[in-house]
Amino acid sequence: MTMFSGRIGVLQFWLASLILIACSIVLLLLVEIIALPLFSIITGLSPFALPDLVMAPLHTLVLLCIGIVMASAPIAAFFVLFAGLQIRRYHDFGLSVKVWAVIILAEVVVRYVVAATSRIGALISLVLVVVTIVLLSWPGNKEENEWGSPFRCASLLAAIVGSPEKERIIVRGYRRVILPVVYVEAIGLLLAFTVSSILPRFSLPPLSAPSQAQSHATAQTKTSSALEASAFELQ
């Protein structure tokens, strides 16, 4: 069994999902308490407070992209692990990852496209959520299927990281969840320091902001037009 292969029963799936949500909240809080304040100290920006993107210089936009990636890393880790749990749950009663992908795609399209434009879309979105919960709670096959025999993980943490061996839970969890997030945050801080230190020296003014030469030419044109109008009135 791995993160995206094998099977998991109903009870272990829901309990592991609750543990995963709790751990993800803790990891997200750690990122917001440690990494994001360091990002704000280095750059003077916050990923949650967007400036005027049209008037912002190039290095500010780059820094905001880095901050958003840093803030999203724990959420991405959660979705990867939760997707693994869901796929193994579908395997347990005989459905493949293709069926899971179609259902997820349908939920995204209905929720963010159809539901935003019509009331019936919101109803369809609710129906899809109920269908998903029913499928995830559906009893698994008692006999062996394409994805193996009914299997019970040694612990809930083993179920989350897809480890059949209890002794390797901490190692796999560290490598698959903690270490990638730490890498993202560390690389993000390094890039933020580099961009905020170097890029402003070579940054061009915003495209929407008029240059000094253009402003001077516009002012001269307005002055000439006013003088010509005054001379015409005197005549």
Of residues 59 and 145, more confidently modeled? 145
User: Average model confidence (pLDDT) for the chain?
Assistant: 78
Of residues 27 and 202, more confidently modeled? 27
Most confident range (mean pLDDT) of 21-25, 146-150, 159-163, 228-232 is: 21-25
Q: What are the domain boundaries of the chain?
A: 10-94+140-204, 97-138
Residue 98 has pLDDT above 50, yes or no: yes
- pLDDT tens, 66-84? 888 988 898 998 999 999 9
- Per-residue confidence (pLDDT) for residue 181, from 0 to 100: 87
- Centre a 10 Å sphere on the Cβ of residue 120 and count the other Cβ atoms it contains: 11
Cα→Cα distances 111→47, 76, 86, 107, 119, Å: 25, 19, 19, 6, 11
219 phi/psi in degrees, rounded to 5? -65, -40
